[in-house]
Amino acid sequence: MVIQIADKKIGQNHPCFIIAEASSNHGNDLQRAKKLIEAAAKSGADAVKFQLFTASQIAADTCDPRTIVRADEKAVFVDQDTKLIDLYRPNELPRQWLPDLAAYAKSQGILFMATPFDEEAVDQLEAVDAPAYKNGSYELLDVPLLRKMAKTQKPVILSTGMATLGDIESAIEIVKAAGNDQVILLHCTSTYPTPFEDVNLRAMMTMRRAHPSYPIGLSDHTLGISVAIGSAALEACVIEKHLMLDDGVSTIDDKFSLSPREFKAMVDGIRQVEKALGSYQKEPTHREEKEKLQARRSLWVTQDVKAGESFTKENIGVLRPGTGLSPLHYDLVMSSQARCDLKATKALEWDDINPQGPRAHPL
């Protein structure tokens, strides 16, 4: 299935759709958010995406010890034990920014998206004509939120961190039941940052076999750019990666986000891999056909040979260029005699040999 997001076609045999995840790296600064949009556009990303949540609507105000974010376990997020709701409060995107950010993204030539974490956020994103919707992995099974996104009749990108194949199937069914079959699936590991040994890129292939109708991609939280580029080699149709300004400002996601320079290097690497993937056929390329004549070897006369004289290792060599008989006929030539006088440095041809047995056809 090919899915359209604005003017971009998503699916195999189409360029990978690259999302620069600005997340909460805006640091509650509108100008900083705009600089993230600029950086995403300059990197070559197709879309820049923020996160639209209100802390009180995604986390209960509880001191249940099971829900405390421990500094010793998630030092990437906090430097002291923190309630979930307090983790989110300082990282909210002011919703009044949406029209300004969407207009600015348009002026920069990049698509504007945001992950909605509540139903009201979907309505607000509809008001700025968001081209598609993407869940957070934690919300994969949030029935009312998925249903709300699906009812926009715009593409729904499902991030699948922590999910089983059964969870993914349930999420797809929620979207389809709302009358929307425009689904894109992203493999994801919800660990920040993700250790390389936990990525399991091959799960993309499992997801593709389980859901061959839907484009498959990757939401990547590893350090560096190698995994994202590697996923392109596995024909990821969408790749999402966090983007951070390199101005030294600390934010919730900065530890596993790419600088603008790194993000551009990732985009360039993905585009190079896409070109390198090429065709499933194994045959010489157009450029190789030109190279073949000079680079391949053929059979050459290396010493003068008289008519009727046998060919030997001393008077026949396997040399470049490939203008004579192929070395595949070496054994036949070695059991043959010269049909006429042959001078050294001549490329051997069929008319030059007199086989002892039935003459073989060229291979």
DSSP characters for 75-136?
Answer: TTT-SS-EEHHHHHGGGPPPGGGHHHHHHHHHHTT-EEEEEESSHHHHHHHHHTT-S-EE--
Q: Which residues have CB under 8 Å from 221's CB, separation 6+?
A: 188, 189, 190, 191, 192, 193, 194, 242, 256
Q: What is the mean pLDDT of residues 82-91?
A: 82
Give residue-wise pLDDT tens across range 265-309: 999 999 999 999 998 999 999 999 889 989 999 999 999 999 999
In the prediction, which pLDDT does 78 show? 64
Closest CA to 140 of 112, 165, 114: 165
**Domains of the chain and any CATH numbers:** 9-54+92-277 (3.20.20.70), 288-355 (3.90.1210.10)
Highest mean pLDDT among 54-58, 168-172, 358-362: 168-172
Neighbours of 325 (CB within 10 A): 21
Answer yes or no: is pLDDT of 172 > 60: yes
In the prediction, which pLDDT does 361 show? 46
Answer yes or no: is pLDDT of 67 > 80: no
Please, what is the average pLDDT of the chain? 93
Q: How far apart are CA 161 and CA 179, in angstroms?
A: 24
Q: How far apart are CA 120 and CA 124, in angstroms?
A: 6
Paired tokens of 126: 């509809």
What H or E segment, with its residue span, contains residue 22? strand 17-23
In a 10 Å sphere around its CB, with 0-12 CB exposed, 13-18 middle and 19+ buried, how is residue 24 labelled? buried
Of 58-62, 71-75, 124-128, the least confident: 71-75
In the prediction, which pLDDT does 360 show? 45
Give residue-wise pLDDT tens across range 323-338: 999 999 999 999 999 9
Q: How far apart are CA 97 and CA 168, in angstroms?
A: 33
| Helix pair 226-233, 260-277: axis angle to 10 deg | 20
Q: How far apart are CA 277 and CA 177, in angstroms?
A: 36
Question: Who wins on pLDDT, 355 or 241?
Answer: 241
Answer yes or no: is pLDDT of 340 > 70: yes
Give residue-wise pLDDT tens across range 193-237: 999 999 999 999 999 999 999 999 999 999 999 999 999 999 999
Query: Do residues 230 and 213 lie in contact, with contact meaning Cβ atoms separated by under 8 Å?
Result: no
Question: Who wins on pLDDT, 83 or 216?
Answer: 216
Query: Do residues 39 and 243 lie in contact, with contact meaning Cβ atoms separated by under 8 Å?
Result: yes
